[in-house]
Structure 1
Amino acid sequence: MHLPRILVAAPASGGGKTTVATGLMAALRASGRRVAPFKVGPDYIDPGYHSMASGRPGRNLDSVMCGDELMAPLLAHGFITPDPADIAVIEGVMGLFDGQLGTGRGSSAEIATTTKTPVVVVVDTAHASLTHAAVVSGLATFDPDVTVAGVILNRVASARHGAEVARGLDRLGIPVLGQIPRTESIFVPSRHLGLVPAAEWEDSAAKVAGLGDLIAEHVDLDAVMDLAAAAADLDVEPWDPMAALESVDWHAHSFDEPPLVGIFAGRAFTFRYPETTEMLTAAGFRVVDVDPLNDRRLPDGIRGLYLGGGFPEMHAADLETNSELAADVRRRAEAGMPIVAECAGLLYLCRHLDGHEMAGVLPMDAAMAKRLTMGYRVATRDSISVVGHEFHRTTTTLLSGLEPAWHITMPDGADRAEGALADPAGVGRPTIQASYLHLHWAGQPAQAAWFSREVARFHASRRGRDGEPDLNHHGDRDIADGLIDLAVNVRVAEPPQWLRDAVTSTEHEWARYPDATPARDALAVMHGVPTDMVLPTAGAAEAFPLIAALEPRRAVIVHPQFTEPEVALRGAGVSVNRYILKASDGFTLDPALVPDDADLVIIGNPTNPTGRLHPATDLTALRRPGRILVVDEAFMDATDESQSLIGGDMGDLLVLRSLTKTYGLAGIRAGYVVGDRRLIARLADHQTPWSVSTPAVAAMIACTSDEARRFRAQLRDDIPAARADLVERLTNLGLSVVDSEAPFVLVNTASLSGSSIRQPLADRGFAVRRGETFPGLGPTWIRLAVRDSNIHAGLAHAISDLTTHRN
């Protein structure tokens, strides 16, 4: 196999090896060459910069963890994956011949010898001149199996200085490929465990580009390519992840759809070996990133979780803030989902990290320590033996007895219990493995096979049990700072001034308990019904627990529908049945399909999330003697109110209204129920005293005014054109949009992707409501609030960009 390659080494650490190697990768890439980046040893920080410089995964060549026999195959694999490169650039470790104390294992020289790679020595020319030639001479002759084929001079003080060093190297017949002047502009910040990872440093991309420019100006790239091309051909088969799994008696599983495996990523979890992902993919899984600083929950249908390396201790406060994700990880762990956690992942699974709350999956606490723990470790468990690497400045305290993940033999011969195995679901075997030990799965395929088998087993156990949506999910959980909000249906950024004035004018009454009677009177006049047919509530959502208190025997909820009614009913122990309308029928209601024995039926009109406005005649057909019909008209004031069921005979009928969406009152919580006076009285009996605040009372009264009617009418009149604009842009992209009479639309993105596009859209700056949280919808559905044409255009562009990248 012809594989042009060089290994960038140095006489010692601190001489600019990483600077030159990373800059060389960036310069070669900028010149149009495809560069395959590698790093000798277990270091996971430098490969992050390599990846940024080359545009390909930074890979590690570690003969201690993987064995000499895998070095050339892993090199060849990285060279051809994802497509054939033009050159492989390998950054060495420490000094050229430095490796494990006592053996020299894992040194740059060993990797160069094993892979027959020519070495380019980076010489820090500070503090000497001609003497550097003597040092290079020693490197070149110390081991005849190591070929020092070129030199790059770094931190050259002047042309005369560089010439003097080059004069000595000429005597050795070793070419000088470049002379890099001293410069203070290239700087990478450090902290307790070395350089700050590229993913955490906001200036990293600019600095890497600057390194590339510096190298391109002062290094002969063509000479580097010629030297790399002269490397001997390798008689080697590239490493294959499937073959690696099969080597440990792993057998492929047949899946209808690839099970989902999450890997922690983002600024707090910056490291994993690329081969880990490749082995999971080869095992038949679909691997997705999870950012614990930003993602509020794990992906739906997830079957396993890998928590790799990083610096959670630097982000502990932010991780603590994301308690939703921590709770989700804990809940899924308790359900038996397999988790592998290495180093940083171990810290996240603890109860606390430096006093900050973590996921609490394991009964352990972690804290920063004074001493750095670092080194290769031989570890065993039962009949399994592995070689891994530790690198951390934290310690953990086990608070209750768990079986250790590994027994480590320390250099002094002592045995040390490390990490923990856990079975939180009580399945009779460990489903969680957590320790400080980093493993390179290519060298330890049994680890990959164990995790893959556990994921497949968990997937089989969950079959048929994952269609249940998260009924407690609401659109405000999909929004985040910096995202344009299309997930929440509040239609104005803030209440109009006249409404704010009405609310704040009550400030002198806030010390007194509120009285909702004036709001009740005003709402009754607005709707032309008697006062005893109206009940003000703390938002329309307060009405659902009150309705549950009516103790229906068999409730039916027409779905897809706002999920709060079902949550309230189930919480009260009420038996709930679902009548799910079909997308193929345009979510049309057939009253005859609602079971006759249902004594409570709840339906939205227009329905959230479909936007379907059901004819009043269809809803009236749902009424039966002894049945309570509840119609959620939270969005009725945005459409044709002739279909409202408020007014006339309202026996056994309750209609809910909300003032939140139209007037921007989400923080005030203002809603009400209109209906059968007997039922209204029963609801009032169960209502918590003073649940409707004085500001909410004032808001309700103000929303019945002539000014409010004009404001409401203007918004209602503006919606059709704005909605049509959004629908046209979406349909032009080939998306299916449900006909809507509401200030939102329901969109099926199945033609674009078989999975949810919520996160990809969030990555492009837009928050949308996920459809799979509504019964009857799947992950390809999203609900979009109607906004203005500029926002619609931006969304369409983001979806178009997403389409381009997927293709």
Structure 2
Amino acid sequence: MVTPTPLPRVVIAAPASGQGKTTIAVGIMAALSRAGHAVAPAKVGPDYIDPGYHALATGRPGRNLDPWLTSEELIVPLLLHGARTPDPADVAVIEGVMGLFDGRIGTGGFASTAHLATLTRSPVILVADISSAARTIAATLHGLRTFDHCVDVVGVILNKAGSVRHAHEVRSSVEAIGLPVLGVLPRDAGVSAPSRHLGLIPAAERTDAVSALDRLAEQTAELIDLDLLLHLAGCAPDLSATPWSPPSRRAEGVATHDSATTRPVVAVAGGRSFTFRYAETDELLRANGCEPVLFDPALDTSLPPGTSGLYLGGGFPEAHAPALSRNTALTGAVRDAIASGMPTVAECAGLIYLCETLDGHDFVGAVPAQAAMHPRLTLQYRSARTTVDSILGPAGTTSRGHEFHRTRTSPGAGTTAAWEHEEGVEGFTLDPASTGRATLHASYLHTHWAGNPSVPAAFAAAVQSYAAQPPVLGATSTVLPRVERAPALPTTTDPTPSAGLDHHGDAEVGPGLVDFAVNVRVPTPPAWLATTLRDGIGDLAAYPVVDPARTALARRHAVPEDMVLPTSGGAEAFTLIARAIPGRRPLVVHPQFTEPESALRRAGRVPDQHVLSEREGFVLHPDRIPADADLVIIGNPTNPTGVLHPRSTLEALRAPGRVLVIDEAFMDAIVGGADSLISADLDGVIVVRSLTKTWGLAGLRAGYVVGDPSLLRLLAEQQPHWSVSSLAARASVAVCAPAARAEEAELAREAATWRHHLVRGLQSLGLAPVPGAAPFVLVRVGPGVHGSLRERGYAVRRGDSFPGLDHDWVRLAVRDPHTTDGLLRELQSLLGDTAPGGSERSLEQAAPASTAPQRGPVPAAQADRELSA
């Protein structure tokens, strides 16, 4: 008879993806842990990324509870195992997935959060985003609470409140239906994790993760009633089940070893590029007589001593491809190990790492295939069986798993698939040492070994057999020590705006303000770029060398190297132009970025101003530019109007004796970039480019000019020695790589979708945003709106800081649709019936929620939806 086990526990769920449950669940875990509680974390579903944050918040392994990957019968035993490993926990906090009742389509909600809550008899606390409604939130929560009587909804946390009045209205209506409110978080509570093409960036890849978690814990403790949460968790009934025990899964015939020093080593890929594997994987390896030892494929130059097996799990090799590719000592060691017949399991990222190349980066080459990024996300559960006898067991061994990737492989001829499933075959299974069975099993399928214990048992037996065959590969190997890097310190900006040519969007932002003023499109550089920059810190004692940057930029644009000059951002480029390029009558086409005008004036040259007509949509007419203007500067797409001038229109400005300067700082945000003037024929033309906007490098200052070599020589004569830093040069090389160009194109497509959402919302308010294509929108909103938005928590760029515009205008940087909707609601409240051409249409009618991937606190929201579908 099983003795009932008490375990205070609570499930953090939500009505839908994107409500903030990940941020709040991690905040609760961190706050409770910092208050002295031992918290056992868990995640519903197959997601690997959230458990990484759970582990960071609690100091315990993050675990997954998925009845489809394992079984319904294993859920409570796995939960209890996590609650006693490595020591007994005071409370378990389980983060849900998608909406409360969303599971596998066609299964009646199987594997949903509600299913898990029912299996574990856990009380549920809902996280509700209230930014788009008030009393209706109570109706929604009432429906969720009564939809299934087996699901015990005991409380709610209200997220993204717009004001104190708004919060009070929602709270009172929710409490009126008898549902306790544990806390209310403001619209911009402030701490969320950056994301990329597969959702949230793993905690292991973030140097700021610990400091961000500390801020989140403090906020959570202040805004959420943790005592009430613990009380509700303590009301959960005892669980009648035996905790899962990995030693009980050992297969017959597998040797038992008393200590780690006598067990054969399984080298387990880790570090920043391999962050995905289930906690039970390591436990099952130990239970079956092996010793898992982590190694970092990006840093370590050899496998751990005594390695007799390889386990390469999931992660983001595409984000760290240069570092992985450069580590040729390790890729050679891995290739030799696999060729010798060393048992090897590679899942998803592991498969990619073993391919010959990934988007041009050379990898291990043990699998005869090339990998490449793909625009379509693959995300699905699979039931699969092995095709041949292998280290996972005999042919026909079955397993359940899931796929989650944006890469594709192009296999060579004559390969054998690892799995066959309902849609065909997938992966690679190879016998490189001709042992008589496959010793390499590589595929996209992530499997949870606790759900099929025969697989780790078979793998462990293969490792034991390999270890018994001397010599043991890697017996004299060494592992390089890890380098711990301190997190970057936060920066501050002056929140007080000031008009004039030197006024920039960063002067508008400040504490507590949602930023629509700064045109930098990502909050931090992508993890792969940050890693590249950190790797370059060791070279800072040497003076900068920019030749590799010039070479990379020239190749990117297919021009000779003498047509490229790296600069310290676009600002330096305009300063050089103002000082070096002759011309009796310089002219700046306005409205325009203020730096060209400011640079000319600082150089003692007062330019003419040609102001484009608002009535004509700020469209350029080349025949209206004075013929004697011998230095003409114009933006494309133009800041702040966003207007994209056709290439043919700009070509019409070229004339003998005239230098034409095109500011293309935002051209990389234009899908396709067909209207760029960059080509091998740029006589009399200088094109200015910036890398700071797309890649979050405003503080680094990275840019370049492409143009007439004779003109660039004049600029170079004015450029100070070493004005381009080593890190800026390094960044310039990195962003020219094929994978970076693919990510740049994806960001451009995303920006176009988000811009469309913002424009439609503005139009629904009766406003007339200027037609354009840039990642910002210019719109006339009337006097006083800029300041009123600031009072309501939104920073926007004031129009009167641009020549040719007055204080009725604001420039809005494009943000994700969810953040944009908050701004639109405040504008709607401010404008009322006074907006030009007032409209009675609602925001919901005119600006439906975008289906674009969103960058926010909930990981892989789009992936959640696709998994459900």
Q: Specify if TM > 0.5.
A: yes
What CA deviation, in whole Å up to 9, does each residue of 1:66-118 have, x standing for no partner? 11111101000001000001110000000000011111221000000001010
Q: 2:238 aligns with which of 211, 217, 233?
A: 233
Aligned to 1:168: 173
* Deviation by residue 1:592-612 (Cα, 9 ceiling, x = unmatched): xxxxxxxxxxxxxxxxxxxxx
- The 5-angstrom pairing of residues 240-255 of structure 1 reads 240-246=245-251, 249=252, 251-253=254-256
Letter in 2 for 1:388: G
Match of 2:274 in 1: 269
TM-superposed CA distance for 1:300, in Å, is: 1.9
**Among candidates 380, 383, 386, match of residue 375 of structure 1:** 380
User: Quick one: structure 1 residues 397 and 215, their matched pair in 2 at CA, closer, same or farther if it must change by over 3 Å?
Assistant: same
**Could you tell me how far apart the structure 1 residues matched to 2:97 and 2:480 are?**
44
Aligned partner of 2:460 in structure 1 is 452
Q: How far off its partner does 1:286 sit?
A: 1.6
| CA 447–465 in structure 1, closer or farther in 2 if over 3 Å, else same | closer
Aligned positions of 1:248-397 closer than 5 A: 249=252, 251-253=254-256, 257-381=262-386, 382-397=395-410
> Which residue of structure 1 lines up, in the alignment, with residue 17 of structure 2?
13
In structure 2, relative to structure 1, the CA distance for the partners of 1:479 and 1:11 (3 Å cut) is: closer
- In the TM superposition, residue 25 of structure 1 has moved relative to its aligned partner by 0.3
Residue in structure 1 matched with residue 731 of structure 2 by the alignment: none
**How big is the shift at 1:383?**
2.6
Match of 1:437 among 435, 445, 448: 445
The residue aligned with 1:84 is: 88
Structure 2 letter corresponding to 1:405: A
Q: Is the CA contact 1:377–1:388 (under 8 Å) kept in the aligned structure 2?
A: yes
Query: One-letter code of the match for 2:281?
Result: T
- Rate the CA distance shift 1:481–1:168 in 2: closer, same or farther, 3 A: closer
Give the match for residue 30 of structure 1.
34
1:2 to 2, 6, 9: 6
The aligned amino acid for 1:55 is G
For the 8 Å contact 1:250–1:449, the answer to whether it is kept is no
Structure 1: tracts of 5 or more residues without a match: 411-415, 484-807
Tell me how far apart the structure 1 counterparts of residues 481 and 130 of structure 2 sit (CA, whole Å): 53
| Cα gap change, 1:468 to 1:220, in 2 (>3 Å) | closer
Q: Does structure 1 residue 420 correspond to structure 2 residue 428?
A: yes
CA distance in 2, matches of 1:254, 1:322: 34
Task: Assess, with a 3 A threshold, how the Cα gap between structure 1 residues 467 and 79 changes in structure 2: closer, same or farther.
Answer: closer
Letter of the 1:281 partner, please give it.
R
Question: 1:152 Cα shift?
Answer: 0.8
Which residue in the other structure is 1:407 paired with?
A: 420
> Per the alignment, do residues 21 and 465 of structure 1 end up closer, same or farther by CA in structure 2, a change over 3 Å counting?
closer
Residue 465 of structure 1 and its aligned partner are, at CA, apart by 5.5
CA contact (8 A) 1:47 1:59 kept: yes
Residues 149 and 276 of structure 1: CA distance in aligned 2, closer, same or farther (over 3 Å): same
State the alpha-carbon separation in 2 of the partners of residues 36 and 132 from structure 1: 30
Give the 3-state SS of the residue equivalent to 2:370 in structure 1: strand
User: 1:49 aligns to what?
Assistant: 53
Residue 172 of structure 1 and its aligned partner are, at CA, apart by: 2.3
What is the alpha-carbon distance in structure 2 between the residues aligned to residue 354 and residue 469 of structure 1?
Answer: 33
Q: Per-residue displacement from partner, 1:231-257 (whole Å, max 9, x unpaired)?
A: 0100010111122334xx564445781
**TM-score, normalisation: structure 2:** 0.53
Matched letter for residue 58 of structure 2: S
Q: For residue 479 of structure 1, report the CA deviation from its aligned partner.
A: 8.6
Report the secondary structure of 2:10's partner residue.
strand
For 1:251 and 1:437, locate their aligned partners in 2 and report how far apart those are by CA, in whole Å: 26
- Retained in 1: the 8 A contact 2:301–2:327? yes
- Structure 2 match to 1:59: 63
CA contact (8 A) 1:253 1:456 kept: no
Does the Cα contact within 8 Å between 2:12 and 2:126 map onto a contact in 1? yes
Secondary structure class of the residue paired with 1:365: strand
In structure 2, what is the equivalent of residue 196 of structure 1? 201
Q: CA–CA distance in 1 between the matches of 2:151 and 2:253?
A: 38
Residues 22 and 379 (structure 1), Cα distance of their counterparts in 2 relative to 1, 3 Å cut: same
For residues 155 and 173 of structure 1, what CA distance do their matches in structure 2 show? Answer: 21
**Does structure 1 retain, via aligned residues, the 8 Å contact 2:307–2:473?**
no
The amino acid of 1:420's aligned partner reads F
- Matched residues, percent identical? 50
Contact 2:38 2:89 (C-alpha < 8 Å) held by counterparts: yes
Equivalents in 1 of 2:483, 2:420: separation in Å? Answer: 45
TM superposition shift of 1:196 = 0.9
The alignment status of 1:97 with 2:101, answered yes or no, reads yes
Contact 1:5 1:229 in 2 (8 A): yes
Tell me the CA shift for residue 453 of structure 1.
Answer: 1.0
Q: Please, what TM-score do these two structures have when normalized by structure 1? A: 0.57
Q: Partners of 1:50 and 1:273 in 2: how far apart?
A: 13
> Does residue 1:223 correspond to 2:236, yes or no?
no
Q: CA deviation at 1:323?
A: 0.5
- Mapped to 2, the partners of 1:48 and 1:290 lie a distance apart of 17
Q: Any idea what the Cα deviations from partners look like across 1:307-346, whole Å, max 9, x if unmatched?
A: 0010001111110000000000111111111110000000
Kept in 2: contact 1:263–1:307 (CA 8 A): yes
Describe how 1:597-676 pairs up with structure 2 within 5 A.
none
Cα distance, 1:158 vs. partner? 2.7
User: Deviation of residue 191 (structure 1)?
Assistant: 0.8
Say if 1:183 and 1:333 are closer, same or farther in 2 by CA, change over 3 A. same
- The letter of the residue matching 1:46 is D
Q: Provide the C-alpha distance between the structure 2 equivalents of 1:465 and 1:340, rounded to a whole number of angstroms.
A: 18
Q: Residue 303 of structure 1: SS of its match in structure 2?
A: strand
Q: Does 1:141 align with 2:149?
A: no
What residue identity is the alignment partner of 2:76? A
Q: Distance in 2 between matches of 1:438 and 1:165?
A: 42
Separation of aligned partners in 2, 1:467 and 1:364: 26
Give me the CA root mean square deviation.
1.9
Letter in structure 2 aligned against 1:396: T
Residue identity in the other structure for 1:37: P
Give the Cα–Cα distance (whole angstroms) in 2 for the partners of residues 323 and 466 of structure 1.
17
Offset of residue 132 of structure 1: 0.6
Report the residue type matching 1:143 in the other structure: D
Instruction: For residue 187 of structure 1, report the CA deviation from its aligned partner.
Output: 2.7
Which moves more between the two structures, 167-176 or 34-43?
167-176
CA drift at 1:17: 0.5
In 1, the alpha carbon distance for the partners of 2:359 and 2:176 equals 57
Aligned partner letter, 1:360: G
Aligned to 1:600: none
1:496 matched residue in structure 2:
none
Per-residue Cα deviation, 1:758-792 (whole angstroms, up to 9, x for no partner): xxxxxxxxxxxxxxxxxxxxxxxxxxxxxxxxxxx
Deviation at 1:402, TM superposition (A): 2.2
2:405 partner amino acid: H
Cα deviation, 1:261-291, whole Å, max 9, x if unaligned, reads 1110010001110100000011122211110
Q: Give the SS at the match of 1:14.
A: coil
* Length, aligned pairs only: 470
CA gap 1:467/1:229 in 2 versus in 1, 3 angstroms: closer
Q: Deviations over 1:100-141 (max 9, x none)?
A: 111122100000000101000001111111111110110011
Aligned to 2:867: none
CA contact 2:308–2:472 (8 Å) conserved in 1: no
Question: What are structure 2's unaligned runs of at least 5 residues?
Answer: 387-394, 486-869
Output the CA distance in 1 between the equivalents of 2:222 and 2:23. 14
3-state SS of paired residue (2:18): coil
Shift of 1:469: 4.7
Which amino acid in 1 is paired with 2:461? R
